[in-house]
Structure 1
Amino acid sequence: MLTTSTQSIPMRSGLNWPAPLENLGDIKVVLFDLDGTLHDDPRITDFYARVLEEKMVDGTGLGLQDEVADVIQGRHPAAQPGSFVEPSRGIAISAPHWVAEKAVDWMGNPVSLVDDGLLGPIQHDGALRYLGDQWQIIGALAARRGVDVHMLRDAFVRARRFGNDPSTTLIRSEYLDEVLHRLSQGRRFLLATNTTEELARPLVDRLRLQPPFEIIRFDARKPAGCAELISHAREQWNIAPSEILVIGDNLWNDLLPPAELGCRTVHIDPLGTDRAARWSSARFDNFAAFAAALKELPDEC
């Protein structure tokens, strides 16, 4: 997803967090991400990549969709899901503990980070772009080919309007109502998306998400905005961070700030960005697997 956050969120390292999700008994608030979590339609991101490929001049967009597929399927020589890239230099950076450790050029050859100021803790407002979901992968690869922010935004808007068009058949998970019902018993529901209300409201309405969602935050400016929304919920309802469960597909945008605050987190991780589940309370390959596990999770301490 696109993000407009300009706030740096330093991440502590070497901590054993967040706490595992062993039951739902002490959860009072559930905060969901939208795209890639409650709704996942590859036709929309495919449309986004296709528009960008077609709009680039002098053939610079040729092969963008194939390159995106290579990244997603782990065939790219440099960029991998869960890594960072610096588009202007065309380098990919490994930061397994959110600290830039080593880098390679676009062909996979090692390059130095010593003289460019990229070594050290990754910052949310820095030059590096996280490859945490398909939107981010497409945007970063297009930026490496010279696409500016205005073209990215235009393609994003067109893709969202394509998904919102009534002629585009809605893909709605068969497990969505089941998950919402399972979690809703005595709990407040929040929804946060970085997409503007103009572009995201039609999807929310088509998915029939209001109710049960008490607060829907459009243009949420995650990751910084995610922490802000959690702070608001804590103050308004007098709850502890450990009583908040955050569910999202993008580790960097959706889950690390809440985990840093002490919330429980569930990572829907189809791209395999954190297969060892080091940075979440629970990790699942897809929404269906989460729904199945949720049936077995006790609802009492």
Structure 2
Amino acid sequence: MKLLPKVIVFDLDGTLYEDIHHFNFYAERLRDKLPLQKQEIFWKEYKLAEQGEHTLRIGRVYDVAKDLLLVQQDRIVKEAFKWDGTALSQEEVNQLYPEQITIDLESMLSIGDLWWVPACVAFHHGLSGKSGHRSFLETREFMMTPEFKMNKITNFKEMLQDLREHGVKLVLLTNSPEPDSEVILTKLELQTVFHKKIFNGKKPTLTSNRFEEIALTFNVNYNEILSVGDNWINEILPAQKLGCSTILIDPHHISTDESADIVVETMTQAIPFFKKIIE
């Protein structure tokens, strides 16, 4: 990494915990809001996508309006596929996407983690954005209940406390709402370790704005900030462009060693790198 960081910015979901059993619950909520005749095909396609056997896969972008799955690099579309896997010609790609695309949370969806897999399948089958968001909120409500058990990452809390004691400022930056995020943090026993928490972060649209706010809050330069997350487009690419250091959590093996300063499969694998900061 460029410098020993003075501030570390952490994503929440897929970063501070490694549980994935809630995604089936989310997919069930989405499925139940679809017409009965579409529920079986939804579930089949969701499971294929989850296993990496569908055109929709983590790392791609879903164009909701055109119902196309895109391979992009720095927001330039390189390839485009129909839902059934048929590839568009290069001429068609150039005609449809002559300029950089704008990735957002409504019409051009980055499939950066498992939250987006069942959601995009549901949108393909006609589910509205409003119903999709309701399914997300229902899932977060479930995650707040005692029935939802979470596994803490071994030695992670202690590592964060060591960083605090050595003067490193810790920031949480998540797209999730505050109430359920706070419950999740409490279940992980991490509710008091962060110096600053930003909820409803609207990444990637506002990632750069959030980092500007963080830099001003702690009076640091961007090259003194380390961004840690599991979504390359949300947490890594915008931070890299600002000059921040980055650690990418990549359980799906869709990145390369050049995708971030450090690429690991799990947060557990990242802990030794954090320890080096305070040695």
TM-score (norm 1): 0.83
Give yes or no for the alignment of 1:170 onto 2:150: yes
Give yes or no for the alignment of 1:108 onto 2:89: no
Give yes or no for the alignment of 1:254 onto 2:246: no
Q: Tell me: CA distance 1:194–1:298, structure 2 relative to 1, closer, same or farther (3 Å).
A: closer
CA distance in 2, matches of 1:153, 1:205: 24
Q: Residue 48 of structure 1 aligns with which residue? A: 26
Verify the 8 A CA contact 2:182 2:191 in the aligned structure 1. no
Give yes or no for the alignment of 1:122 onto 2:109: no
CA distance in 1, matches of 2:39, 2:95: 30
Q: Tell me: CA distance 1:171–1:65, structure 2 relative to 1, closer, same or farther (3 Å).
A: farther
* Secondary structure of 2:115 counterpart: helix
Deviation at 1:293, TM superposition (A): 4.3
Q: Residue 173 of structure 2 aligns with which residue? A: 192
Map 1:121-270 to 2 at 5 A: 121-125=100-104, 127-184=107-164, 185-270=166-251
Unaligned runs of 5+ in 2: none
CA distance in 1, matches of 2:258, 2:39: 36
Kindly provide the CA deviation profile for residues 2-53 of structure 1, in whole angstroms up to 9, marking residues without a partner as x: xxxxxxxxxxxxxxxxxxx27xx63100110000000232121211011111
CA distance in 1, matches of 2:139, 2:109: 21
Question: In angstroms, what is the RMSD of aligned CA positions?
Answer: 2.1
Q: Tell me: CA distance 1:202–1:222, structure 2 relative to 1, closer, same or farther (3 Å).
A: same
Verify the 8 A CA contact 1:258 1:265 in the aligned structure 2. yes
CA distance in 2, matches of 1:253, 1:75: 24
Give the aligned length.
Answer: 274
Deviation at 1:65, TM superposition (A): 3.7
Verify the 8 A CA contact 1:182 1:294 in the aligned structure 2. no
Verify the 8 A CA contact 2:161 2:193 in the aligned structure 1. no
Identical aligned residues as a percent: 25
Verify the 8 A CA contact 2:33 2:127 in the aligned structure 1. no
TM-score (norm 2): 0.90
CA distance in 1, matches of 2:27, 2:114: 10
Higher helix residue share = 2
Verify the 8 A CA contact 1:81 1:272 in the aligned structure 2. no
Which structure is higher in RCO with an 8 Å CA cutoff and minimum separation 6? Answer: 1
Give yes or no for the alignment of 1:91 onto 2:68: yes
Deviation at 1:292, TM superposition (A): 4.0
CA distance in 2, matches of 1:109, 1:96: 20
* Secondary structure of 1:172 counterpart: coil
Verify the 8 A CA contact 2:62 2:108 in the aligned structure 1. yes
CA distance in 1, matches of 2:163, 2:99: 39
Verify the 8 A CA contact 1:101 1:119 in the aligned structure 2. no
Q: Tell me: CA distance 1:298–1:230, structure 2 relative to 1, closer, same or farther (3 Å).
A: closer
CA distance in 1, matches of 2:271, 2:78: 36
Deviation at 1:219, TM superposition (A): 1.1
* Residue identity in the other structure for 1:246: S
Verify the 8 A CA contact 2:80 2:87 in the aligned structure 1. yes
Kindly provide the CA deviation profile for residues 74-94 of structure 1, in whole angstroms up to 9, marking residues without a partner as x: 211x22220112234332111
CA distance in 1, matches of 2:277, 2:148: 38
Q: Tell me: CA distance 1:180–1:63, structure 2 relative to 1, closer, same or farther (3 Å).
A: farther
Q: Tell me: CA distance 1:279–1:120, structure 2 relative to 1, closer, same or farther (3 Å).
A: farther
Verify the 8 A CA contact 1:49 1:138 in the aligned structure 2. yes
Kindly provide the CA deviation profile for residues 181-222 of structure 1, in whole angstroms up to 9, marking residues without a partner as x: 453321111001111112322112222223210111111122
Deviation at 1:178, TM superposition (A): 4.0
